[in-house]
Chain A
Amino acid sequence: EAGVAQSPRYKIIEKRQSVAFWCNPISGHATLYWYQQILGQGPKLLIQFQNNGVVDDSQLPKDRFSAERLKGVDSTLKIQPAKLEDSAVYLCASSSVRHYGYTFGSGTRLTVV
């Protein structure tokens, strides 16, 4: 089966600019996650979707971050405006309710300068 697709792979922007990341999960996976991994730290959950509904967005900085999963398939994560501390790898993952496994994309490495 195809893996979780993410784009772009790398992005460099200036602070106060906007940026958007895209994720296409495994076909049929109902649950989609966005994680932020800052250098030296473990990945932190930003938002979890079940189909097109939000299950958990408690750690999403809602003043600047937004995410959507229209039609319960693809998802986009947006940052507007970006800050220096947003420099991180943004990982998308998906899972099926029928097994324990989670599949990750290769991530988008964001650098804010």
Chain B
Amino acid sequence: ILNVEQSPQSLHVQEGDSTNFTCSFPSSNFYALHWYRWETAKSPEALFVMTLNGDEKKKGRISATLNTKEGYSYLYIKGSQPEDSATYLCVRNQAGTALIFGKGTTLSVSS
């Protein structure tokens, strides 16, 4: 895998549903993996940065895991709310280089 791949591209869930997204990335020369939340017309907001294989991070109802050996990360949202509607970007960087973005997963939560 040369690029950062995210799936699904878009997702529509009902309020209260739990959901998860996948990010796949090149495992060689790994430095850090970031998850950003981006709402339209706003700045991308950093959710997590993970650096170690097996890292698990949690922020409220959102959590993420990291597997650097096989090159994937999962983002979980428990009990989705309408305010969770946004595009979730998975971003990888190697030491000293710019971020490489996935295309994002756009989540829509309806009440």
* CB-CB contacts below 8 Å: A1-41 with B: 3-4, 9, 33, 35, 40-41
Complex Cα–Cα for A23 and B49 (A): 24
User: Is A43 located at the chain interface by the 8 A CB criterion?
Assistant: yes
Contact B89 A101 (CB under 8 A): no
Contact A43 B49 (CB under 8 A): no
* CB-CB contacts below 8 Å: B1-25 with A: 4
The interface residues of chain B, by DSSP majority, are classed as loop
Contact A3 B43 (CB under 8 A): yes
- Which listed residue (A41, A45, A105, A109) contacts B99, Cβ 8 A? A45
Show the binding face of B for A, using Cβ within 8 Å. Answer: 4, 32, 34, 36, 41-44, 46, 49, 51, 89, 97-104
Contact A41 B43 (CB under 8 A): no
Show the binding face of A for B, using Cβ within 8 Å. Answer: 3-4, 9, 33, 35, 40-45, 48, 55-56, 91, 93, 100-107, 109
Contact B99 A91 (CB under 8 A): no
Given the known inter-chain contacts A100-B51, A102-B99, please indicate yes or no for A42 contacting B89, CB distance below 8 A: yes
Given the known inter-chain contacts A42-B104, A100-B32, A100-B51, please indicate yes or no for A56 contacting B98, CB distance below 8 A: yes
Contact B43 A105 (CB under 8 A): yes
Q: In whole Å, how far is B24's beta carbon from the nearest beta carbon of chain A?
A: 13
Contact A101 B46 (CB under 8 A): yes
